[in-house]
């Protein structure tokens, strides 16, 4: 890890460090909200080690905490994580050829370390950016989750701290950077309309799955354009 850190130039190392610190705070929020929502203290920590995908974890706990179906929560989390598949292909050259390296590399692939990696031209910088950011995020996320989970056990009223709004706020913050073109904006708009229209009539989690139909609006527009 130290040798990888030394490979990075100073500006890149600073940016990665800032992202890791921010990740720790988000992890703490995830741990605190999960436990204060009535879920067991071990759940956020186990998820952070095994799943390690912030958006999917927030989505899963949000659905479960609101009384949703666990199967719908799992399916939603898996669908959210499908975005990591193309990212894995984009950074595949820096992961390595051994099975151990491939499994670890796939597990720590995130939006952040993929973005840092593809922005580098030098092969050594690409490899250092991927592994340094990936491992740093994994450690900071899990440390933050651990602290937040135990801190959440002493919070009796989440509404008093505004934690009831943290789930949608964090999810919105994760989604906003992706809304940078017309087709994506149309897909999101259609999905929002579907979710809002069906939420009063269906169990929690199901409207989110139905909102994925918004992707069809994006695909349809792209076909017309071609």
User: 190 and 171: one domain?
Assistant: no
Among 138, 160, 178, the domain-final residue is 178
Residues 206 and 142 in one domain: no
pLDDT in tens, 29-67: 889 888 888 889 999 999 999 999 888 898 888 888 888
Domain with 190, as residue range(s), is: 180-226
Give residue-wise pLDDT tens across range 167-212.
Answer: 556 556 656 666 777 777 788 888 888 888 887 877 666 776 677 6
Number of domains in the chain: 2
Q: Are residues 194 and 85 in the same domain?
A: no
**Same domain (yes/no): 103, 200:** no
| Same structural domain, 51 and 118 | yes
Q: Please indicate, yes or no, whether residues 77 and 144 belong to a single structural domain of this protein.
A: yes
pTM, 2 dp: 0.71
Examine the domain organization and report whether 109 and 200 are in the same domain.
Answer: no
**pLDDT of the residue at 139:** 95
Does position 226 have pLDDT exceeding 70, yes or no? no
Q: What is the largest CA-CA distance in the chain?
A: 56
Q: Do 102 and 160 share a domain, yes or no?
A: yes
Please provide the average confidence, as pLDDT, over all residues in the chain: 80
Same domain for 147 and 54: yes
- 51 with 157, same domain: the answer is yes
How far is 178 from 90, CA to CA, in rounded Å? 17
């Amino acid at each position: 890890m130290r040798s990888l850190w030394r490979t990075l130039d100073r500006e890149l190392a600073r940016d990665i460090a800032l992202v890791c610190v921010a990740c720790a705070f988000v992890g703490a929020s995830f741990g605190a909200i999960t436990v204060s929502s009535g879920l067991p203290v071990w759940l956020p920590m186990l998820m952070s080690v095994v799943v390690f995908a912030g958006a999917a974890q927030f989505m899963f706990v949000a659905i479960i905490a609101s009384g949703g179906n666990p199967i719908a929560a799992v399916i939603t989390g898996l669908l959210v994580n499908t975005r990591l598949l193309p990212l894995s292909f984009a950074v595949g050259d820096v992961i390595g050829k051994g099975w151990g390296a491939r499994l670890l590399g796939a597990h720590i692939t995130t939006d952040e370390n993929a973005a840092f990696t593809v922005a580098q031209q030098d092969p050594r910088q690409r490899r250092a950016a991927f592994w340094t950011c990936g491992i740093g995020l994994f450690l900071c996320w899990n440390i933050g989750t651990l602290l937040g989970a135990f801190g959440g056990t002493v919070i009796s009223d989440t509404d008093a701290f505004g934690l009831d709004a943290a789930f949608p706020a964090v999810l919105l913050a994760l989604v906003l950077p992706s809304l940078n073109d017309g087709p994506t904006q149309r897909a999101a708009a259609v999905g929002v309309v579907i979710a809002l229209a069906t939420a009063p009539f269906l169990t929690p989690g199901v409207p989110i799955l139905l909102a994925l139909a918004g992707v069809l609006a994006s695909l349809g527009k792209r076909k017309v354009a071609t």
